[in-house]
Amino acid sequence: MRALGIEGAWVLEPRVFSDPRGTFHEWFTGPAFAAALRHPLGVAQANCSVSVRGTLRGVHFADVPPGQAKYVTCVRGSVIDVVVDIRRGSPTFRQWEAVELGERHHRAVYLAEGLGHAFMALTDDATVVYLCSAPYTPDREHGIHPLDPALGVDWPTDIEPLLSEKDAAAPTLREAAERGLLPEYGECLDWYGRLREDQSAESITSAPR
């Protein structure tokens, strides 16, 4: 696990074993994850999406607490996966990080609760799977238009973006802020601290006596 430039965003670059039969790699291991983030990933839901080339999904996020952390990889084709810091008060507010995920690299990206997530399919049948820390709750889910100039995400210019009606109608970052939809950085930090405290308490109670 390697930390990205936005607090709460990480990338996994696994060791891949290959032989004439194919390849093998571990795309998620609980102990390594918990050691890097100082708390485990509680998995409440696992999603799989298949997209045609140009499909642009996001920017999606959920109210904090509890928010929805995501651990994302692409098992077929490739995508540009983007983490956006939309936490009001964050020192990296409005900044974004992009990582190419796909069957060539076998990388995975983790984004903590309160961060925005989006990706664009670079190939047909791009298959993205992700683990979520909380189930989908429609009335707590929000979006920001992924092509908002205020975000300035550097999407590929040679691919025509294909958005859902919902994402195409999503507010800009400014509009989302005016509506009070954006997570607060301080509340996110408090939530991350609670996760680590829960981990510490669990370690103490489970220690041999």
- Whether 100 is in a domain gets the answer yes
Per residue in 50-71, pLDDT (tens digit) is: 999 999 999 999 999 999 999 9
Whole-number percent of the chain with pLDDT over 70:
95
pLDDT score of 2? 93
Residue 206 lies in a domain: no
Confirm whether 204 is domain-assigned.
Answer: no
Q: Assess if residue 205 is contained within a domain.
A: no
Tell whether 209 is covered by a domain.
no
Residue 142 inside a domain? The answer is yes
Question: Each residue of 120-150: pLDDT tens digit?
Answer: 999 999 999 999 999 999 999 999 999 999 9
Residue 180 included in any domain = yes
Query: What's the structural domain count of the chain?
Result: 1
Domain with 6 in it: 2-18+25-199
Quick check: is 119 in a domain? yes
- Please say whether the beta carbons of 123 and 78 come within 8 A: yes
| Continuous H helices in the chain | 30-37, 165-168, 173-178, 185-206
Residue 200, pLDDT score? 59
Annotation marks residue 60 as catalytic: yes
What's 118's domain CATH number?
2.60.120.10
Over its C-alpha atoms, the chain yields an Rg (Å, rounded) of 17
Q: Catalytic site residue 130?
A: yes
In this predicted structure, the answer to whether residue 204 has a pLDDT above a threshold of 50 is no
Residue 198: pLDDT band with limits 50, 70, 90: confident
Q: Which of 101, 37, 34 is nearest to 73 (CA)?
A: 101
Catalytic residue among 39, 60, 106, 117: 60
Judged by phi (left if over 0) then psi (alpha if -120 to 50, else beta), residue 105 lies in alpha
- pLDDT tens-digit readout, 18-45: 999 999 999 999 998 899 889 999 999 9
Q: In which band, very low, low, confident or very high, does the pLDDT at 205 lie, cut at 50, 70 and 90?
A: very low
Q: According to the model, what pLDDT value does residue 190 have? A: 96
* Tokens (6 digits) for 45: 């839901």
Catalytic residue among 106, 110, 117, 130: 130
How does DSSP classify residue 162? B
pLDDT digits (tens, 9 = 90+) for 108-119: 999 999 999 999
**Which residues are CB-neighbours of 164 under 8 A, at least 6 positions away?**
57
Counting every residue, how long is the chain? Answer: 209
How far apart, in whole angstroms, are the C-alpha atoms of residue 103 and residue 205?
40
